[in-house]
Amino acid sequence: MTEPLIVGAMVRTLGAYPSGWRQDGAHRDPAGDADILRRVAQAGEDAGLDYLFFGDWLATGPDLEFRDPYLLARIDPVSAVLFLAGITSRIGLIATVNTTYADPYTTARSLASLDVLTRGRAGVNLVTGAEPRAAGNHGRDAHADNENRYDRAEEFVTALRRLWDSWSEDAWIADAARGVLIDPDGLRPAALQGTHLGVAGPLNVARPPQGQIPIVHAGTSARSRALAATEADLALIAAPTLVDAIEVRRLLRTTAAAAGRAPDALKVIAPVLPVVADTDADAHRIVERLLALVPLAEGHQRGRTAFPANRTIAALADALEVAPDEPLRAAAFDDEVTAEQAARLGATGAALVERLARIAGLGVGTRHPLTWRHLVAAHAVPAAFVVGGAATIADHFETWRDEGGADGFNVLSAFQPAQFEAFTRLAAPELRRRGLLGRDGENLRERLGVAAQPALQTAHA
């Protein structure tokens, strides 16, 4: 029997779609994040999800309001998982740490502490950072180049593993009669002095219940994929189509095998943004509303700082390689797209029109007419939408598993808390009925189905 998928939630309290916070009833004030985190954690755990995942971004600025508003103000991910540790009992908790700026000893200590306090539910997503403004926030003149960042990241992984391996499994004796608390030979230094960082150790936290805490990594560069394939337990991929996902998963597992790992030791996780409702039609109307609420270059948006340049009809026409003198460039956002205009949008435009029919039920000359606003918004703000009732969502998950596109999914929600709760209330039971959700395991590593990392005793004894 095929084992269930790995299913986690990528938590963004302001929603994963830029206009999600504008939906009626959506959470839109970061000061109230604690309440949303409680609701998400409870719903996710009750539904049987495997983990909650918290990303990170080490800077902010007005440009994020339109591009990624959830990045403007967000809880530190390690703080978030520590907060949720006391109000959950089964679900895994994965926090993101930026290896370019973090200290490996502090990171190893906080995550080992989390693992002890949660009895083995900790995980860490290691990133190298892509935001240049983060450098100034950490007292540096410039963000490090790709090669140096990944050289440091590789040393960071080694440091974490040596520190988590500071204590042997049998080092803690606690023999009150003899007055012997530990076996000193079971406490080892890290003794790492690399090109980019050094750490002495040992770690002053007990051995994590998982031994080695599961490591997650995401990225598209060659160095990033190499790090994921050789060191990570979960590789997060960004693949726009199933065909792309199959190829990326194949490449990652081939690289893992070349490094001496069993290919299935690396689990490949794809993002998905399900818009869930009782019926496909109801879900389509939610997507239509999300698209209608995307700020475009009109009225009050003119002159706003860092407003995206791609949110105009002219920008869409340029992207679709429409002729400069084409009359459709003069259309207004709320004009309906005519059949004649749609025919002049080329192959890429035709694919966009087809996608909007699929995700929002919009069409040329239908009772739910396609407008230029819909076209511009869908092109400017793409998302991995899967839209519909429970069966539609489950079909997507099942197809990607059966075709070899992914070992699991990171579920994003367009807005909180309604869309995540719709996923857990409607889609999760159908996923469980089909055997796609509901993995077993005493800790996160077992639940993910990733083999325990061997102890590093001989590496630095």
Q: Is residue 172 very low, low, confident or very high in pLDDT (cuts 50, 70, 90)? A: very high
Output the pLDDT for position 142: 87
pLDDT tens, position by position, 318-376: 999 999 989 999 999 999 999 999 999 999 999 999 999 999 999 999 999 999 999 99
pLDDT tens, position by position, 179-196: 999 999 999 999 999 999
> Is 166 in contact with 207 (CB distance < 8 Å)?
yes
Output the pLDDT for position 47: 98
pLDDT tens, position by position, 414-447: 999 999 999 999 999 999 999 999 999 999 999 9
Q: Is residue 451 very low, low, confident or very high in pLDDT (cuts 50, 70, 90)? A: confident
202: cis peptide before it, omega within 30°?
yes
Q: Is residue 456 very low, low, confident or very high in pLDDT (cuts 50, 70, 90)? A: low
Q: Is residue 220 very low, low, confident or very high in pLDDT (cuts 50, 70, 90)? A: confident
| Range ranked top by mean pLDDT from 124-133, 220-229, 399-408 | 399-408
Measured CA to CA, the distance from residue 331 to residue 329 in angstroms comes to 6
pLDDT tens, position by position, 116-129: 999 999 999 999 98
Measured CA to CA, the distance from residue 93 to residue 10 in angstroms comes to 11
Output the pLDDT for position 49: 98
> Is 360 in contact with 387 (CB distance < 8 Å)?
yes
Output the pLDDT for position 460: 40
Note the pTM of the prediction, 2 decimals.
0.95
Only one residue has tokens 């140096």, namely 148
Residue-by-residue DSSP string for 436-459? SS----SSHHHHHT-PPPPP-TTT
